[in-house]
Amino acid sequence: MDFKDYYKILGVEKTASQDAIKKAYRKLAVKFHPDKHPGDKKAEEKFKEINEANEVLGDPEKRKKYDELGSDWQNYQQYGQANGQGFDWSQFQNGRGQRRQRSSRGAEFSGDQFSDFFESFFGGGFQGFEDNARGSRTRKGQDLESSVTITLEDAYTGAPKLMEINGEKIEIKFKGVTDGQVLRIKGKGAKGAGGGSSGDIYLKVNIAPHNHFERKGVDLHCEEPIDLYTAILGGKATIKTLKGSIAMEIAKGTDNGKVLRLKGMGMPVFGSANEAGDLYVKIKVVLPQKLSEKELELFKKLSEMRS
Q: Summarize pLDDT for 179-196 with one digit per residue, the tens.
A: 999 999 988 888 888 788
Cα separations in angstroms, 263 against 177, 212, 219, 279? 20, 18, 10, 6
Mark whether 148 and 70 lie in a shared domain: no
Tell me which DSSP letter residue 263 carries.
T
Percent helix / strand / coil, the chain, rounded to 5: 35, 25, 40
Last residue of a domain, one of 122, 153, 172: 122
Assess whether 70 and 161 both reside in one domain. no
Would you say residue 299 lies in a domain? yes
Residue bearing the bigger pLDDT, 78 or 273: 273
The answer to whether position 12 is within a domain reads yes
- Tell me, yes or no, whether 58 and 118 share the same domain: yes
Distance CA 245, CA 240 (A): 4
Q: Is residue 190 part of a domain?
A: yes
SS3 80: helix
Same-domain check for residues 176 and 278: no
Helix/strand/coil for 206: strand
Same domain, 182 and 250: no
Q: Same domain, yes or no, for 118 and 12?
A: yes
Instruction: Report the distance separating Cα 99 and Cα 112, nearest Å.
Output: 10
Give, rounded to a whole angstrom, the gap between the first and last alpha carbons of the chain: 88
Could you tell me the CA-to-CA distances from 42 to 34, 36, 113, 193, 212 in Å, in that order? 10, 12, 14, 32, 43
* 134 within some domain: no
Instruction: With respect to residue 178, please indicate whether it lies within any of the assigned structural domains.
Output: yes
Identify the CATH number of the domain in which residue 15 sits: 1.10.287.110
- Among 182, 207, 232, the domain boundary falls at 207
Q: What is the residue range of 179's domain?
A: 144-207
Q: 186 in helix, strand or coil?
A: coil
Q: Is residue 137 part of a domain?
A: no
92 and 150, same domain (yes or no): no
Average pLDDT over residues 92-116: 42
Q: For residue 130, is it within any domain? A: no
Percent of the chain with pLDDT over 70: 77
Q: Supply the CATH number for residue 203's domain.
A: 2.60.260.20
- Please indicate, yes or no, if residue 131 is contained in any of the structural domains: no
Do 121 and 92 contact (CB within 8 A), yes or no?
yes
Total domains in the fold of the chain: 3
Instruction: Give the pLDDT confidence of 203-259 residue by residue, as tens digits.
Output: 999 999 999 999 999 999 999 999 999 999 999 999 999 999 999 999 999 999 999
Angle at 155 between CA 154 and CA 160, to 5 degrees: 55
Buried b (16+ CB within 10 A) or exposed e, 5-37: ebbebbebeeebeeeebbebbbebeeebeeeee
Tell me: pLDDT of 21 over 60: yes
Shared domain check, 10 and 118: yes
